[in-house]
Amino acid sequence: MAKQIKKPGKVEEPDLLPAMGLFTILIPMLLTMTSFSKLAIVEVNLPERSQMIMDNDVPPPPDEQALNLSLAIANNYLVIGARGGFQPNVYFKEMWTFRCKSDAQLVTYAMEDVKTTVESGHGPKCKDGSEMDKEKYLYEIETIELWAIQKESEEDPGKVIWAAYKNDGSAEEAHADSAYVDGANNFLSLPGEGVGGLQKPAALKAPTPGMAVATLQPNSARTLKPGDKTMVYPLSAYDLIAKDLIAIHTQFIDLDDVDNIIIVANDDTQFDKIIQLMDRAKEAGFSKINLAKLGG
């Protein structure tokens, strides 16, 4: 007798309604607990001037063995001082990037160009031709970059130094993250071409897969993989200073005040620059940061 073939029954969909109910409760709950931008804190020691010495107090004698490290930021250079002496100035060109409210596009100008425009009675121009508010443009700066400058003399306007960077952004909006260094801890860099070195040097190529590179971070040496994004971008003065700070901290590790640093700035220095310098100092190992004013 031939075996009767069973007819496949109608496939029933599982009842998804209870699961949907669960999801509807879970999603709003998680939404309230989600943080899309995370806040942190940077601890700081009090300003030097607030720790006042009374008139009748005898100031303590200066410690000859102390490092007394300071990092000063002036209008166009950064300088490290220790034991009464100073390292060579790290000159920079300050670049301001604004995001225009009118077209949401980014525009980058040199700080001195913006100031000249504002002095002539106009606001910085957007890509669509509109002008920013010349009273409030200072609070619309999205990023401040300090492009390192190579100078032959004090009078020399200098040339922008370009370097190889890890690209942390997208193809449309590249973002320079960490500067690459070679085996001798030197930046992969060259002075730019054209007026002021504003053009990328043709001889400097972005690192390619297979190349051995490192960053300023310890134990960061590695070989670039095919997916790693790299770029050539103006070398940041912050990176040059970070490299010097790491070298100083390593060299004077035995001193009592090796973890102390005083950041000194002008009255008009933006808070963002202070935080960037504090970040570089902390990363180099300086855990006790004081703040002071230039000439204060």
Minimum gap (Å) between residue 109 Cβ and another protein: 15
CA dist 223 and 204 (Å) reads 19
Q: Does 225 bind another protein (CB under 8 A)?
A: no
Please identify, using beta-carbon distances, which residue of 73 and 160 lies nearer to another protein: 73
Q: Are 191 and 163 in contact (CB under 8 A)?
A: no
Helix (H) or strand (E) holding 71, with range, is strand 70-73
Q: Does 53 bind another protein (CB under 8 A)?
A: no
Q: Does 136 bind another protein (CB under 8 A)?
A: yes
* Backbone CA torsion sign across 133, 134, 140, 142: positive
Which of 212, 247, 253, 275 forms a contact with another protein (CB under 8 A)? Answer: 275
Q: What single-letter amino acid sits at 202?
A: A
* Count of residues of this chain found to bind another protein when the rule CB under 8 A is applied: 49
Minimum gap (Å) between residue 38 Cβ and another protein: 3
Q: What single-letter amino acid sits at 226?
A: P
Please identify, using beta-carbon distances, which residue of 94 and 159 lies nearer to another protein: 94
Q: Are 210 and 223 in contact (CB under 8 A)?
A: yes
CA dist 28 and 26 (Å) reads 6
Which of 55, 152, 155, 267 forms a contact with another protein (CB under 8 A)? Answer: 267
Minimum gap (Å) between residue 290 Cβ and another protein: 11
Map residues 163-182 to x or -, x wherever contact with another protein holds by CB under 8 A. Answer: -----x--------------
Minimum gap (Å) between residue 276 Cβ and another protein: 8
- Angle, alpha carbons 149-150-151 (nearest 5°): 110
Q: What single-letter amino acid sits at 276?
A: Q
Long-range contacts of 132-136 (CB under 8 A, 24+ apart): 132/98, 132/100, 132/101
CA dist 136 and 117 (Å) reads 14
Map residues 5-44 to x or -, x wherever contact with another protein holds by CB under 8 A. Answer: --------x--xx-xx--x--xx--xx-xxxxxxxxxxxx
Pairing status of strand 159-167 against strand 230-234: antiparallel
Query: Which spans of this chain sit near another protein (rule: CB under 8 A)?
Result: 13, 16-17, 19-20, 23, 26-27, 30-31, 33-44, 46-47, 49-51, 136, 138-139, 141, 168, 265-272, 274-276, 278-279, 282-283, 291, 293
